[in-house]
Amino acid sequence: MTLSERIAAVVQLGLSLTENRELVESAINKSFHQNQWFVKENIHKALDSICTQYLAEEKLNTWLLKYSLSNIEKAKSIGLVLAGNIPLVGFHDVLTVFIAGHHCAIKLSDKDKELIPALINQLGQIHADCLDYFSFVDRLEDYDAVIATGSNSTAVHFEYYFKHVPHIIRRNRNAIAILDGAESREDILALGQDIFSFFGLGCRNVSKLYLPREYNTDFLMEALHDFKELALHNKYKNNFDYNYAIYLLNQDKFLMNGCVLLKESEDIASRIGMVGFEYYDDISHLKSLIKPRMDEIQLIASNKAIPDINTVRFGEAQNPQLWDYADGVDTLQFLLDL
């Protein structure tokens, strides 16, 4: 297939999924039964984002403008070890390898085994030759390069196991948010989307807040209480209750509002059902807290312009563009340089 044919196929996939979500309804139902974190609302949210941000023709053309793409003479085999923390989280890697013209040898996460195969099957319905670019494997073999996503502990093993080939190894990262005290209730509700979308399980979910000293946390917690329906989800509620019990037993200081716990902490990551926070005195102090830990941070959400720090506005953390690469590593350029 030519590059233009591949682009046309994925654009048509986006249109098809937008017009008729029933094409993948069976996979959606199976995913929820296999993994109860994958509620249907979140799967549809992920699909909506993919269709509007990844598969729209205008977005694809804008993404590809900066690259020297041509029809490669010999495709390479790219091993993909996908994560499964939120629905379809590995689709960007799959799409990027396909657009580059290489073959994807995909090792799916046990937590997300239905959705990506369903999308690739639909791609094959649009153009049968698309299927030649994909295979699903239990073990990676005969690969020319690898893109693997996992925890900090698995990343150590990935680095050793794949050291003989070009590779991208992704580790644990989380998003943070910077507030300045001038936020409206609507701003906090948008921030709540960044915190609670997909139950907070994504690497782009905000898990840590940086607050100016004397910040009104009562205002924050009252606004975030709008997400109280999260507590109706059994797995989320179990995690919330567990964290609550641990903090009580340890006599830790914390705030709660029925759907989230807020606790002062230096950690960037946080457990399900809670968010950490840390105070800052001024911009200089804020930068001293953040800059040394950028390798732990996926993105920074803030409605405040901060010199020398790239941010996204509240509410946009879980709506990445094609060029918003995980860990800041340009996956497409990596593939083109092979």
317-328 tens-digit pLDDT: 999 999 999 999
Three-class secondary structure of residue 167 per DSSP: strand
- Residue 323 makes CB contacts below 8 A (sequence gap 6+) with 62, 63
Measured distance CA(27)–CA(245) in Å, rounded: 37
| pLDDT, average across residues 115-139 | 96
The torsion defined by the Cα of 53, 57, 60 and 61, in degrees rounded to 10, comes to: -140
pLDDT at 74: 80
Render the burial of 56-80: b for 16+ CB within 10 Å, e for the rest: beebbeebbeeeeeeeeeeebbbbb
Q: Which of 26-35, 72-81, 104-113, 286-295 has the lowest mean pLDDT?
A: 72-81
pLDDT at 247: 95
Share of the chain above pLDDT 90, in %: 94
Q: What is the mean pLDDT of the chain?
A: 95
Three-class secondary structure of residue 259 per DSSP: coil
pTM of the model: 0.94
| pLDDT, average across residues 64-93 | 91
| pLDDT, average across residues 210-226 | 96
Q: pLDDT band for 206, please (50, 70, 90 cuts).
A: very high
Q: pLDDT band for 315, please (50, 70, 90 cuts).
A: very high
pLDDT at 303: 93
| pLDDT, average across residues 241-254 | 95
Q: pLDDT band for 69, please (50, 70, 90 cuts).
A: confident
Q: Is the pLDDT of residue 70 over 90?
A: no
pLDDT at 163: 93
Q: Among the CATH numbers 3.40.50.2300, 3.90.1150.10, 3.40.309.10, 3.40.50.720, which is that of 174-301?
A: 3.40.309.10
* 161-199 pLDDT, tens digit each: 999 999 999 999 999 999 999 999 999 999 999 999 999
* 138-161 pLDDT, tens digit each: 999 999 999 999 988 899 999 999
Q: Is the pLDDT of residue 71 over 80?
A: no
- DSSP state, residue 275: E
pLDDT at 304: 87
pLDDT at 106: 98
* 253-277 pLDDT, tens digit each: 999 998 999 999 999 999 999 999 9
Number of Cβ within 10 Å of residue 245's Cβ equals: 10
Q: Is the pLDDT of residue 86 over 90?
A: yes
Q: What CATH number has the domain spanning 3-171?
A: 3.40.605.10
- Where, residue-wise, is CATH 3.40.605.10 in the chain? 3-171
Nearest to residue 90, comparing CAs of 206, 203, 235, 205? Answer: 203
- Residue 275 makes CB contacts below 8 A (sequence gap 6+) with 195, 206, 207, 208, 209, 260, 261, 262, 263
Q: pLDDT band for 250, please (50, 70, 90 cuts).
A: very high
Q: Is the pLDDT of residue 72 over 80?
A: no
